[in-house]
């Protein structure tokens, strides 16, 4: 069994699901457990400056093996898994030499991953594919990234004859709930630049991401017995439906792709008296992003005019910004990654992230940080999978990037 697969199977056995709207940091105690496991492994490899801080960020250094001064490079991944689907009691299974057909994931339930529904599978015919049993997510987002960085570190620390500069390693909690970079010690990390290893299929290389905001909408109604409610009742559920229906129908995730932004209704609950809607707002273009925020603000104002001041309370909060503005002046990071991919037989796929990553916020905190692939697909759900050979190839990519930095 490959080293990176060994690491990956070990890490997915830990339930590190993060939680929304929790004041504690990290949001779940289980993340602390994996943080300590990773730190112990790094110490056993003889990494230097290994520490886990009070917020469960893990930091370590692979010391330079050459006198020549080259940029200090970092590699970062997150330890938590998404709260969108259970990450407890993961039962990974390995489909050896995938034959190109459908994959039966669970014998008892008959759950099947169909190649017709997930055509990316067909790219990996003949390879070994890790899936779930359909009862949980797999956790490749981002334990594959963690495993790939750890395997790279293990190799370099076991081979001090390989020339390279100083390398920093960082593992973060709570990325999936938008807080992975909140307390990252950029100054202590002391890298000139870094890469997050948190992307998708093999070859993905990303330095553009959404500008992002959240919108929390509280709608206050008035409940009156329906038999005597004429002119008196204000149904918060109906007003919430009205609110949503005033947003652009086709600026919805199910209709968008590429550089197109959206309003996404993430949750909705309520009664006649009170209703609550949670949205995320996304756009790559800063002007269009501002227009989206202004539009939803006008919808709230219109309903307040119609139904009375205080009927609708809108709370907008920015989450992260497009890292393109920071990376373009440091485009050498993309050039190095592309060249490294090409040299080891990976076709670079430079694509925008239709989401976010720790690297976006870290870039604005002073650490330019584009995103590399992990090799995984279908994150945050039961159909998640990752080819073993892709994980091995990403380890090779990280080593090649280290080599190219040593040549600078």
Q: Are strands 93-95 and 129-131 parallel, antiparallel or unpaired?
A: antiparallel
**Separation between Cα atoms, residue 137 and residue 167, nearest integer Å:** 31
Task: Supply angle C-alpha 291, 297, 304, rounded to 5.
Answer: 155
Cα 398 to Cα 59: distance, rounded to the nearest angstrom: 18
Q: Is 198 annotated as a binding residue?
A: yes
Q: Residue 366 is encoded by which pair of tokens?
A: 């002073």
How many Å apart are CA 150 and CA 377, to the nearest integer?
21
Determine if residue 380 is labeled as part of a ligand binding site.
yes
CA–CA separation, 332 and 48 (whole Å): 28
Catalytic residue selected from 15, 17, 41, 80: 80
The total number of residues shown for the chain amounts to 408
Dist CA 80 CA 55 (whole Å): 13
Spacing of C-alpha 138 from chain mean position? 14
Please name the residue that has the structure tokens 């594919």.
129
CA distance 278 to 276: 7
Give the whole-angstrom CA distance, residue 30 versus residue 373: 26
User: What distances in angstroms separate CA 263 from CA 90, 110, 317, one per listed residue?
Assistant: 32, 35, 14
Q: Among 17, 174, 175, 206, which one carries the catalytic annotation?
A: 175
Would the annotation count 283 as a binding residue? no
Question: Quick check: 374 and 357 in contact, CB under 8 A?
Answer: no
Residue 335 among the catalytic residues: no
80: annotated active-site residue: yes
Q: Binding site: residue ranges?
A: 78, 141, 176, 198, 380
Which residues are the active-site residues? Answer: 80, 175
Q: Binding site for Zn(2+): residue ranges?
A: 78, 141, 176, 198, 380
């Amino acid at each position: 069994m490959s080293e990176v697969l060994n690491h990956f199977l070990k890490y997915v056995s830990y339930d590190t699901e993060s939680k929304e709207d929790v004041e504690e940091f990290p949001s779940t105690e289980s993340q602390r457990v994996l943080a300590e496991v990773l730190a112990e492994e790094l110490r056993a490899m003889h990494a230097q400056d290994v520490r886990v801080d009070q917020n469960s960020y893990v930091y370590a250094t692979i010391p330079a093996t050459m006198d020549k001064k080259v940029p200090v490079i970092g590699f970062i991944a997150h330890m938590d898994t998404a709260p969108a689907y259970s990450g407890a009691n993961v039962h990974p299974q390995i489909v050896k030499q995938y034959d190109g057909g459908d994959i039966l994931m669970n014998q008892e339930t008959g759950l099947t991953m169909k190649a017709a529904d997930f055509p990316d599978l067909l790219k990996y015919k003949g390879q070994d594919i890790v899936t779930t049993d359909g009862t949980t997510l797999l956790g490749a987002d981002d334990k594959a990234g963690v495993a790939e960085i750890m395997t790279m570190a293990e190799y370099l620390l076991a081979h001090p004859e390989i020339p390279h500069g100083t390398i920093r390693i960082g593992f973060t909690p709570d990325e999936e709930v938008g807080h992975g970079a909140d307390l990252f010690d950029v100054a202590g990390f002391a890298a000139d630049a870094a890469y997050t290893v948190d992307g998708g299929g093999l070859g993905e290389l990303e330095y553009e991401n959404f500008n992002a905001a959240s919108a929390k909408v509280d709608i206050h109604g008035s409940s009156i017995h329906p038999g005597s409610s004429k002119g008196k009742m204000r149904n918060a559920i109906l007003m919430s439906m009205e609110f949503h229906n005033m947003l652009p129908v086709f600026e919805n995730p199910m209709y968008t792709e590429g550089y197109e932004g959206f309003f996404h209704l993430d949750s909705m609950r309520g009664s006649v008296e009170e209703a609550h809607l949670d949205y995320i707002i996304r756009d790559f273009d800063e002007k269009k992003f501002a227009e989206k925020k202004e539009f939803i603000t006008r919808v709230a104002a219109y309903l307040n005019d119609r139904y009375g001041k205080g009927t609708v309370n809108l709370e907008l909060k920015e989450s992260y910004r497009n890292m393109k503005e920071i990376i373009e002046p440091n485009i050498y990071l993309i050039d190095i990654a592309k060249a490294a991919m090409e040299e080891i037989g990976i076709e670079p796929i430079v694509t925008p992230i239709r989401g976010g990553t720790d690297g976006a916020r870290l870039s604005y905190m002073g650490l330019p940080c584009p995103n590399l692939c992990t090799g995984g697909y279908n994150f945050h759900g039961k159909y998640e999978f990752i080819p073993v050979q892709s994980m091995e190839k990403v380890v090779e990519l990280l080593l090649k990037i280290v080599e190219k930095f040593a040549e600078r």
